[in-house]
Structure 1
Amino acid sequence: MSAERRVHLSRSAMDAYRALDSFTQTVNQIAADSGIDDRFKEIMMIHASQLNGCAFCVRVHLDRAVEAGLDIDTIAQIATWRESGVFTERERAGLELTEAFTFIHEDGIPDDVYDHVGGILTEKEYVAASWLLVSINSFNRIAIAGRYPVPPRKPAAAG
């Protein structure tokens, strides 16, 4: 079945998609109320989408990261965060948690990750970050299953 003929889940079952969107809005509010700022959130969203191979969601969250003030160097370093010095201790904890949630089928959330991340993030931050990761992993699966297109961007008009 070609990409053009794939079922577009967000259009084919609008009630389910609206429920997921509403869930995500709730999760975003919990994150904001728990002290998770947009920079921290978008770093996690991009990394989960990279790990899942979801080009569509990478693009969506790249745009949101730029809106949140992330520069190109920081965004480019997300994939190599363990070797990079551009992330705060909290962001590194979020990236570590992102990997555990994205690959949860391998080891669950290992005790060493839980203990390490839990020693850096408050319980409220840990809970909020976890729900954000549940949300993005769900959206990644929808976009990947439907092979949502990611065409080249059109060049900006010269000003």
Structure 2
Amino acid sequence: MVRPSLDKHHPEVFKSYLATARTVRSAAHDAGLDRRLLELVNLRASQINACAYCLDVHAKAALDNGETYRRITLLPAWRESNLFDAREKAALALAEAVTLITDETRRDEAFNWAASHFTKDQISALNWTVITINAFNRVSVLSQHKVRHDD
């Protein structure tokens, strides 16, 4: 059986997701969050969800916003790396906790860590960012979106 491409079969729903993503990005910007940090969060959630399409999109966006190839490469090992500062590590912990939502202890620890580095508005915007990328990961994985060979 061929899976339906969700964005093609219900384009109005997908367009609303795209509008949501723009609104979330705007809220994060208004809360004072750097786009580079948001792209790290998007990448980390996409790594956990094994979404090749979103990894490709957000790696390019991260590089376009000043991220380095080295840090992107080391992102799965962010806890062991000294290339990420405490604030970034708190955001990445939150991204993992929201993506792997069934671990309540991890979630509580991540929220406490985030509270020492971010305002409530920023934590909310980070959560919305992770929720949004998780939704896009699922749409892309279930629709079998392919990475484009445009290099």
Q: Provide, for residues 28-71 of structure 1, a one-character-per-residue CA deviation record: whole Å limited to 9, x for no partner.
A: 00000011111100000000000001011000000100100111
Q: Provide, for residues 71-97 of structure 1, a one-character-per-residue CA deviation record: whole Å limited to 9, x for no partner.
A: 111111111100001112111111000
1:15 is matched with 12
| 2:103 corresponds to which of 93, 101, 106 | 106
Report the CA distance between 1:6 and its aligned residue.
Answer: 2.3
Aligned AA for 2:8? R
Paired residues of 1:24 and 1:135 also in contact (CA < 8 A)? yes
Paired residues of 1:101 and 1:108 also in contact (CA < 8 A)? no
- 5+ residue gaps, structure 1, are 155-159
Paired residues of 2:95 and 2:130 also in contact (CA < 8 A)? yes
| Structure 1 segments of 4+ aligned residues over 3 angstroms from their partners | 151-154
Q: How many residues align?
A: 151
1:57 is matched with 54
TM-score (normalizing by structure 2) = 0.94
Larger radius of gyration: 1
Greater CA drift, 48-57 or 110-119: 110-119
| 2:132 corresponds to which of 120, 132, 135 | 135
- 5+ residue gaps, structure 2, are none
Is 1:77 aligned to residue 47 of structure 2? no
> 2:32 and 2:137 mapped to 1: Cα distance?
24
| 2:93 corresponds to which of 96, 100, 109 | 96
Report the CA distance between 1:108 and its aligned residue.
Answer: 7.5
> 2:106 and 2:77 mapped to 1: Cα distance?
21
Q: Provide, for residues 107-154 of structure 1, a one-character-per-residue CA deviation record: whole Å limited to 9, x for no partner.
A: 386322211211211111101100001100000000000111125554
Aligned AA for 1:80? A
Paired residues of 1:47 and 1:98 also in contact (CA < 8 A)? yes
Paired residues of 1:100 and 1:108 also in contact (CA < 8 A)? no
CA RMSD of aligned residues (A): 1.5
Aligned AA for 1:132? T
TM-score (normalizing by structure 1) = 0.89
Paired residues of 1:49 and 1:136 also in contact (CA < 8 A)? yes
Aligned AA for 2:57? V
Is 1:6 aligned to residue 3 of structure 2? yes
1:40 is matched with 37
